[in-house]
């Protein structure tokens, strides 16, 4: 059946419409935009619009039409158009793909606002739970779904948006098991106080979702953490099969839901943290959200493992790429002279291969000095060793009890070092994969590691705010540095092995005399956590990246700021300098990799291909290859095309 969407049509379901381009009852165009034919009305119960199924050739799509009485409300039209704008900027299987926004005029002059998007092959979670006879989901299922949704929100938030209307009805489950967040009409700039004023007379109060909306959002002050509150309430519903406000005690202002859910106290604590009344008490970003969730999952699945809970800083799950301090920045004089990429050649850098093998985020990467072997560390708790030439897997190393967040290789022998959320450091024989020893002593996740050029000393930075210096050969602890006020997220060592640099969640960079462990200076300049560091091969310049979305280049000898690079739209999780010192690469939460002229700070090129956060980037020793790792679980190899 071909439907007419003219709200004034006397017979929109006229059976004769199937054979014509114009409605046989009112004369309105039936083939919208010359290729969308409306087949059936799916819903007219929403306060905002009508939902239809349309076909373009044989492909079903969803058509949303703003209800005509809202056409004169500027804000309502703006919100409707905003959904098209938001979706057009987001690319992820958990977000509906947009076909386009257009205005349609009926034969009698009524103008309708229309939005066409992908039709999701599934049901929303409210419908799904009904199909399950209202049987609550398991804790395992809840964690798996929360991880999916956190990854989706990571994309949304890193693009500068937040959803504002998360609830079971706005989360769909594809037939392949992928969750999809729908209905972005209230994203970012919507004003719920305005909508509430419109609501009583114009029936659009459903934009405010009672029971799921955060307190600050109810007052018109939504923030990204408002999405976390709504997610928490959504999972109360899924875990109890009962409407969240059924558990609300107004006198004490508490939600007494825990006894109705068959879950562990740790997971219940996590959900209560998402639903904290004050936004500041919830996870401050999706990275912290994910790391806390992974920590809870580890406690649940491995109860015998000793894991101490910490309040994780911004930018957790951050990979300290030891490209300079541990791998590429030292001993270059001992390497044979190799061809380097000039900046005009970088235009020919192309995606050569995508490696899939990890089951979770690829957090850290490094390449051996001969350029033959790639090592990756992942949130799936494994380290994988790959043949860089063809991308084949050589071996997998298992031993950490939580996600691997940093790896480094000693220059002079086959020693591989890894660190993890499990608070441990492991030393491996790279050639055989044999575990040599485990170093313990940190009381928090070990976010960063670096090895001195002579291969004698290992340095580690942790969530316990300390830096530890170890004898790499014996595993003996040499010294502990305690000057940072928050987690030590990144480390780098100068090519001469004399200077250690550390970056912290306290927003500072500190320079140390590695031989004496004395603090040389503290550098301030970033507005947020310093999460990656690199030192130029000549030892003269330091590069830092931050959650403040900037890269800063400093004079290593004086601490003077040389320049600030801006251009990323998300946190910058990794920086790497090419071995010739001419090119800087950066990986970001905005899903892109940017290549910069290291000498003048000019942007050379932006590489796209990852669908979620780029956590790690590393150059090969000959500068002919760049490798990147992402929360989309993939490793991408970018090569020069000759």
Per-residue pLDDT tens over the stretch 531-555: 999 999 999 999 999 989 999 999 9
Pick the more confident residue, 394 or 332. Answer: 394
In whole angstroms, give the CA distance from residue 341 to residue 364: 24
- DSSP classification of residue 474: T
pLDDT at position 343 over 50: no
Q: How confident is the model at residue 120 (pLDDT cuts 50, 70, 90)?
A: confident
* Core vs surface per residue 169-189: b (16+ CB within 10 A) or e: bbbbbeeeebbbbbbbbbbbe
Name which of 87, 102, 83, 68 is nearest 204 in CA terms: 68
In whole angstroms, give the CA distance from residue 571 to residue 549: 5
Residue 345 confidence (pLDDT): 54
Residue 524 confidence (pLDDT): 95
Name which of 95, 96, 103, 101 is nearest 116 in CA terms: 101
Per-residue pLDDT tens over the stretch 576-597: 999 888 899 999 988 999 999 9
Domains in the chain, start-ordered, CATH in brackets? Answer: 15-118 (3.30.200.20), 123-301 (1.10.510.10), 323-337+361-571 (2.130.10.10)
- DSSP classification of residue 207: G
Residue 287 confidence (pLDDT): 84
pLDDT at position 342 over 50: no
Provide the pairing of β-strand 254-255 with 248-249.
Answer: antiparallel
Residue 434 confidence (pLDDT): 95
pLDDT at position 8 over 80: yes
Per-residue pLDDT tens over the stretch 371-412: 999 999 999 999 999 999 999 999 999 999 988 999 999 977
pLDDT at position 269 over 90: yes
Name which of 294, 457, 300 is nearest 360 in CA terms: 294
pLDDT at position 200 over 70: no
User: Average of pLDDT values for 255-261?
Assistant: 92
CB-hemisphere CA count at 13 Å for 520?
18
Among 87-101, 162-176, 504-518, which is the least confidently predicted range? 87-101
Residue 341 confidence (pLDDT): 41
In whole angstroms, give the CA distance from residue 577 to residue 595: 10
pLDDT at position 455 over 70: yes
pLDDT at position 85 over 50: yes
Residues 6+ apart with CB under 8 A from 630: 361, 362, 587, 591, 610, 611, 612, 613, 614, 615, 636
Q: How many helices (H) and strands (E) does the chain have?
A: 8, 39
| Encoded tokens for 518 | 């004395």
What is the average pLDDT value for the chain, to the nearest integer? 84
Among 188-197, 476-485, 505-514, which is the least confidently predicted range? 188-197
Pick the more confident residue, 254 or 76. Answer: 254
| Encoded tokens for 281 | 């008490």
3-state secondary structure of 554: strand
Q: How confident is the model at residue 56 (pLDDT cuts 50, 70, 90)?
A: confident
């Amino acid at each position: 059946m071909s439907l007419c969407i003219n709200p004034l049509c006397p017979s929109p379901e006229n059976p004769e419409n199937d054979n014509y381009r114009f409605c046989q009852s009112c004369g309105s165009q039936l083939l919208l935009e010359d290729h969308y034919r409306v087949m059936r009305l799916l819903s007219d119960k929403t306060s905002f619009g009508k939902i239809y199924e349309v076909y373009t050739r044989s492909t079903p799509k969803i058509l949303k039409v703003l209800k005509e009485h809202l056409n004169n409300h500027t804000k309502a039209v703006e919100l409707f158009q905003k959904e098209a704008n938001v979706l057009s900027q987001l690319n992820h299987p958990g977000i509906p793909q947009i076909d386009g926004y257009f205005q349609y005029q009926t034969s009698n002059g009524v103008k309708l606002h229309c939005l066409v998007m992908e039709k999701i092959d599934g049901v929303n979670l409210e419908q799904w739970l009904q199909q399950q006879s209202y049987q609550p989901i398991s804790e395992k299922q809840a964690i798996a779904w929360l991880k999916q949704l956190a990854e989706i929100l990571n994309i949304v938030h890193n693009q500068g948006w937040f959803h504002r209307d998360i609830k079971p009805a706005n989360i769909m489950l594809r037939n392949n098991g992928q969750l999809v967040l729908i209905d972005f009409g209230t994203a970012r700039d919507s004003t719920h106080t305005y909508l509430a004023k419109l609501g009583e007379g114009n029936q659009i109060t459903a934009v405010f979702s009672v029971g799921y909306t955060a307190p600050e959002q109810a007052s018109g002050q939504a923030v990204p953490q408002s999405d976390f509150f709504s997610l928490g309430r959504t999972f109360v519903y899924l875990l109890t099969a009962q409407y969240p406000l059924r558990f609300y005690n107004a006198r004490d202002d508490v939600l007494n839901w825990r006894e109705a859910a068959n879950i562990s106290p740790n997971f219940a604590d996590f959900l209560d943290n998402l639903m904290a009344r004050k936004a500041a008490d919830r996870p401050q970003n999706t990275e912290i959200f994910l790391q806390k969730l992974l920590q809870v999952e580890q406690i649940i699945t491995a109860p015998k493992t000793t894991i101490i809970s910490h309040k994780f800083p911004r930018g957790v799950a951050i990979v300290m790429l030891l490209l300079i301090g541990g791998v590429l920045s030292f001993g270059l004089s001992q390497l044979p002279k190799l061809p380097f990429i000039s900046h005009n050649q970088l235009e020919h850098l192309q995606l050569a291969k995508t490696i899939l093998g990890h089951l979770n985020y690829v957090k850290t990467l490094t390449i051996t000095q001969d350029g033959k072997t790639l090592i990756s560390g992942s949130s799936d708790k494994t380290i994988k060793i790959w043949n860089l030439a063809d991308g084949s897997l050589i071996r997998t190393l298992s031993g950490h009890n939580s996600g691997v967040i940093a790896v480094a290789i000693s220059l002079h022998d086959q020693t591989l070092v890894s660190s993890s959320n499990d608070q441990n450091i492991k030393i491996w024989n790279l050639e055989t994969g044999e575990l040599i020893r485990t170093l313990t002593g940190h009381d928090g996740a070990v976010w960063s590691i670096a090895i001195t050029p002579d291969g004698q000393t290992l340095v580690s930075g942790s969530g316990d705010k300390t830096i530890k210096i170890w004898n790499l050969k014996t595993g003996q602890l040499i010294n502990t540095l305690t000057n940072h006020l928050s987690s030590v997220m990144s480390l780098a060592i100068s090519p001469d092995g004399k200077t250690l640099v550390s970056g912290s969640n306290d927003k500072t960079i500190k320079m140390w005399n590695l031989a004496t462990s004395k603090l040389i200076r503290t550098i301030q300049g970033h507005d947020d956590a310093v999460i990656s560091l690199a030192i130029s091969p000549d030892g003269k310049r330091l590069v830092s990246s931050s959650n403040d979305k900037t890269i800063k280049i400093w004079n290593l000898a004086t601490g003077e700021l040389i320049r600030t690079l801006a251009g990323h739209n998300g946190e910058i999780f990794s920086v790497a300098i090419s071995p010739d010192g001419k090119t800087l690469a950066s990986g970001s939460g905005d899903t892109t990799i940017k290549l910069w002229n290291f000498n003048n700070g000019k942007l050379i090129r932006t590489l796209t291909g990852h669908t979620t956060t780029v956590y790690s980037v590393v150059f090969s020793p000959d500068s002919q290859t760049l490798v990147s790792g992402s929360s989309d679980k993939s490793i991408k190899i970018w090569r020069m095309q000759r």
